[in-house]
Amino acid sequence: MPKPRRKPGPYRVLGRDISAIDPSHNKTARAAYQAIIGADPSRALDGATRRRIAEYARAELGHIAYAPWLETYAALRGTFVEGCLPDNYVLRHVVPYSMSTYGIVTGPTLARRILPAAPIPDLAYQIAGQFYGLSMERIKPEDLADVIFAEISVVYVKQKGGLQGKGVQRLKRDDFSLDKLPHRDFVIQGEVQLDPEFAALSAGGTSTLRITTVHPGTRPAQAVSVGIRLGRSGDSHIRTASALKVILDIEAEELAPVGCMPDWSATTHHPDSGLRFEGQKVPGVRRAAEEMARLHDQLPHIRLIGWDVGIAPDGTPWVYEVNMAHVGVTFPEAFVGPLFKQFGWHRLHLMDDGEVFR
């Protein structure tokens, strides 16, 4: 007879059990913290630091439920830095402010329509059960393969609503079948040939930049962080479950000396290739950051965007995805935050709806 599953114990902050508040965030943040200190016990926070973080979360961010992510940031960085925003704060306050009354205006089938100047490798779409080309001309099912493989040998099928690399298929002409395609809306993108130096960073897997840009409204958009996700050997595309993350210095176009594994434990090198991060150059990062900021200037309706980008041999930054609701700021906030204090976003919980939904 199997043993009953043990329920996790209470998570107490300043003596209060916050296990039921933002439970998925609590769980994720706690697991990340445990992985960090499990790999390096010297990163464990002492009681005084935990109390300081809890008091800061309550006094400055409005609730102690924001403490778990701040603890994770502090453990990874080696010190607590005020002003960094926890993921649950970003989703509760920053994302609604960023999108205002416009809502989620993008997705895999919409990005090229709202950002026509962006280099996006789309080839075709399925929308409400119908196939369409880049100009929204209808494509007959029997003609779809000829259209998408006319000039390219490998395509990626990306479902609407797919997160963390899930719902992505890599298909060749010989593998292609209408029966293999998802039922929900999707985009079909051509495979981008990456710059050899850029591709080599992931030991035969794949590499993708995540560029975070902010449009303050009062001045042009700017890139506030660039990180790189490095796939593992054999990965056909980036998966959150396997990819490493390393922050980049935009001006120096150089990897930080320490990145993290998928479970948030710190690492100084790629486990497959042995590539050490410190001092490793990534050409094209500065141009990519500048071009994503210029693209964001074409969409001032949205304050915060996360761009998934690959660098081609000629230096062109190709845009794979435009993320507005799931920007993913925990990693850059942990390593180089605060990213958003300069914009006053750490005070968004004090604003009324008239200020947020402008």
pLDDT of residue 357: 42
Over residues 198-256, the pLDDT tens digits come to: 888 876 668 899 999 999 999 999 999 999 999 877 666 677 777 899 999 999 999 99
Q: Which residues of 83-111 are buried (b: 16+ CB within 10 A; e: fewer)?
A: ebbbbbbbbbbbbbbbbeeeeeebbbbbb
Over residues 302-358, the pLDDT tens digits come to: 999 999 999 999 999 999 999 998 898 999 999 999 999 999 999 999 986 555 444
Say which DSSP state 346 is in: G
pLDDT of residue 14: 65
Rounded Cα–Cα distance for residues 303 and 192 (Å): 28
Q: By three-state DSSP, how is residue 263 classified? A: coil
Confirm whether pTM is higher than 0.85.
yes
pLDDT band at 108 (very low <50, low <70, confident <90, very high): confident
Rounded Cα–Cα distance for residues 48 and 349 (Å): 26
The tokens of 84 are what?
A: 């960094």
Q: What is the mean pLDDT of the chain?
A: 89
Mean pLDDT, rounded, for 99-103: 74
Over residues 272-309, the pLDDT tens digits come to: 888 899 999 999 999 999 999 999 999 999 999 999 99
Which residues, in sequence order, are bridge partners of residue 228? 209, 246
Question: Does an H or E element contain 130, and which?
Answer: strand 130-132
pLDDT of residue 6: 44
Residues in the chain: 358
Question: Does an H or E element contain 247, and which?
Answer: strand 244-249
Over residues 66-100, the pLDDT tens digits come to: 999 999 999 999 999 999 999 999 999 999 899 88
Nearest Cα to 335, choosing from 38, 164, 50, 81? 81
Nearest Cα to 302, choosing from 44, 128, 114? 114
The tokens of 177 are what?
A: 């079948």
pLDDT of residue 207: 87
